[in-house]
Amino acid sequence: MGHEYQDALMYAKWGVDYLKYDWCNTGKRNAEEAYSTMRDALKATGRPILFSMCEWGTAKPWLWAKDIGNQWRTTGDITDKWSSMKKWPDGNCCD
């Protein structure tokens, strides 16, 4: 936080094509403002970098993210639930 333009220039220098910008340890920071700042920093580099916003849905990105990022997340982490899988009766699958 606070180094978005510096970081974006380095990403462009490295030839980065995709940035997943995560929302970890942001406290009470305004998500829309934070992602807008990074969007502007990426655009300022002149390099087309796909901007993926990982906000978990807490700030309702479906209401504002379309004008900021190329893609965005709307939920928390998705995890497997293997214990809910049913066993096949013939024993040929899912053992």
The DSSP string of 4-73 is: HHHHHHHHHHHT--EEEEE-TT-TT--HHHHHHHHHHHHHHTTS--EEEEE-TTTT-GGGTGGGT-SEE-
pTM for the model stands at 0.79
Q: Of the residues 7, 17, 22, 95, which is catalytic?
A: 22
22 is catalytic: yes
Six token digits for residue 43: 């655009």
- Map out the domains of the chain as residue ranges: 4-77
Q: Of the residues 77, 80, 90, 95, which is catalytic?
A: 77
| pLDDT band, residue 94 (cuts 50/70/90) | low
Q: Which amino acid is at 88?
A: W
Alpha-carbon gap, residue 44 to 83, rounded angstroms: 48
7 is catalytic: no
pLDDT tens sequence across 44-90: 999 999 999 998 888 999 999 999 999 998 888 888 877 777 666 66
Q: What region does 46 belong to: left with phi over 0, alpha with psi -120 to 50, or beta?
A: left
- Residue 75 has a pLDDT of 83
